[in-house]
Amino acid sequence: MQEKKTDRRVIKTKKAIRNAFITLLAQKDYNSISIKDIADVADVDRKTVYNYYAGIYEIREELENDLIILWKDAIQQLDFKNHISNPQRIFEILTEIIDSNFELYSNLMKLDAKSHVVRKLNKSLTEVVKQALNESRKFADNIHIAEISAQFITSGMLSTYQYWFNSDRAMPLKELSKEIGNIVLYGIASLEQQPDTAAKGE
């Protein structure tokens, strides 16, 4: 019983520390956040923070790794093989994943141009897309094209999401995901088929 109480206390304390870090990311530059800042927001002392984390980089890494696990669990349930020719459902699921951890994704993707979380997400998603393409008849005879295509699709998609998080976000996330899906499926030509914005207003 005592061990369970201790475990709950540890979980609660670590959650407070992580939430404090997320809160501070929305307010300050990552490099200006200190352990004291985190301790103050989490309402614990600095020693308590150091009991669980060697530094701020470990808090960031733990949060990123938790997101990767959530991402992997979700994409492993997707039927990439059957959806690869019509990827809209894939992008709907990815939008749901981002929405469920919106604040954290938003802050982590803003940290730097080569965001750690983007690189990790890219690696995990590329492998799944590549496997789906390899199993597709269209790519059965050319695994190199499948690999190039997987890199192009996932890198472009994640870069676009990162750009969106760092922009004014004028386009809703669901609409952004839909447009990314159209471009992946139909290419740039899909944009030329859409009605001109100015024409809509006439």
18-44 pLDDT tens trace? 999 988 988 888 889 999 999 999 999
**In the CATH scheme, what is the code of domain 61-189?**
1.10.357
Q: Where are the domains of the chain?
A: 2-53, 61-189
Q: Which two tokens stand for residue 85?
A: 């020719």
50-103 pLDDT tens trace? 999 999 999 988 988 887 787 777 666 666 566 555 566 677 777 887 888 787
Domain range 2-53, CATH class: mainly alpha
124-137 pLDDT tens trace? 778 877 777 777 66
Q: Which residue has the tokens 């959806």?
A: 83
DSSP state letters, 87-105: THHHHHHHHHHHHHTHHHH
